[in-house]
Amino acid sequence: MSDPTDSIDPFDGASVPAHTGSALTRVLGLSALAALVVWALYGLVWSPPDREMGDLVRLLYVHVPVAILFYAGAGIATAASLLWLRGRTPGWDALAVAGAELGVVFGALTLLTGSIWGKPTWNTFWTWDARLTSTALLEVLLIGYLAVRRVDPSPAGGSVRASILGLLLFPNVIIVHFSVDWWRSLHQPATVTRLDPTIEGDMLVALMVGMLAGALVFAWLLVHRFRVAWLEQQVERHDLDAAVAARRAEGGLSPSTSTSTSEAQPA
């Protein structure tokens, strides 16, 4: 007897992709590699030590870009969750999980580099100021979001629970940030968000190159992770359709995956 799932093809006759690479990712990857090399040169060799921080400032060329990309990842997860809730397009769900996972990674890097920089600067690995505390809490919120995604029994294509959690990420962080800011603050004020930044010359270039390199690495990882999530959705949808077809075959119905109610009567 033929397997009723033989006719179900998750990729509709197209060849199964062997990897998630493409011309776009090759361009992104090579650009990222080049930018990383230039970043390392500027950060470690070409930029001078800071008048006050000395060589410690070189860690900020890593810390600031990864911190910005951490918030970018969380922002992508939030925005994609909202868009998925509005249109239920699976692609937005894949983007949300990709953004959240990258957010967790870059968040961990942010906290790590910040702590390493903090010890010689503030004589402590950790202070309870607004920016650090809200960063740590956002990291925990993202981990919680990914935990819900792992255990949510919803079929492939998105999760209402996770999307609502994703939607609440940024409002939570804003409220936490202002609460803790009001509570106490030791963190230095923003340097590059003002029109006349307090760092300049080769140090500013090192920071800008760091932002560019970090953004390229982030984009490269995001595209790959999005494609992996998309492929996972296709496989899960195929498995679900196969299970439905098998159950229909048991009932004597045709293995159609249509959800129409006007079906052939069982034998």
Site residues (vs another protein, CB under 8 A) = 85, 133, 137, 140-141, 143-144, 147-148, 151-154, 159-161, 164-165, 167-168, 171-172, 175-176, 178-180, 182-183
CB of 181 or CB of 202, closer to another protein: 181
Distant-in-sequence, close-in-space partners of 114: CB < 8 Å, separation ≥ 6: 63, 67, 132, 135
Distant-in-sequence, close-in-space partners of 6: CB < 8 Å, separation ≥ 6: none
Tokens of 105: 């990674």
Closest separation in Å from C-beta 135 to another protein: 12
Helical axes 130-151 vs 90-122, angle rounded to 10°:
150
Radius of gyration of the chain (CA): 24
Residue 18 burial class via C-beta count within 10 angstroms: exposed 0-12, middle 13-18, buried 19 and up: exposed
Closest separation in Å from C-beta 238 to another protein: 22
Closest separation in Å from C-beta 182 to another protein: 8
Distant-in-sequence, close-in-space partners of 157: CB < 8 Å, separation ≥ 6: 88, 90, 93, 233, 236, 237
CB of 109 or CB of 180, closer to another protein: 180
Closest separation in Å from C-beta 175 to another protein: 5
Closest separation in Å from C-beta 125 to another protein: 20
Tokens of 164: 């609502």
CB of 185 or CB of 256, closer to another protein: 185
CB of 122 or CB of 178, closer to another protein: 178
CB of 73 or CB of 166, closer to another protein: 166
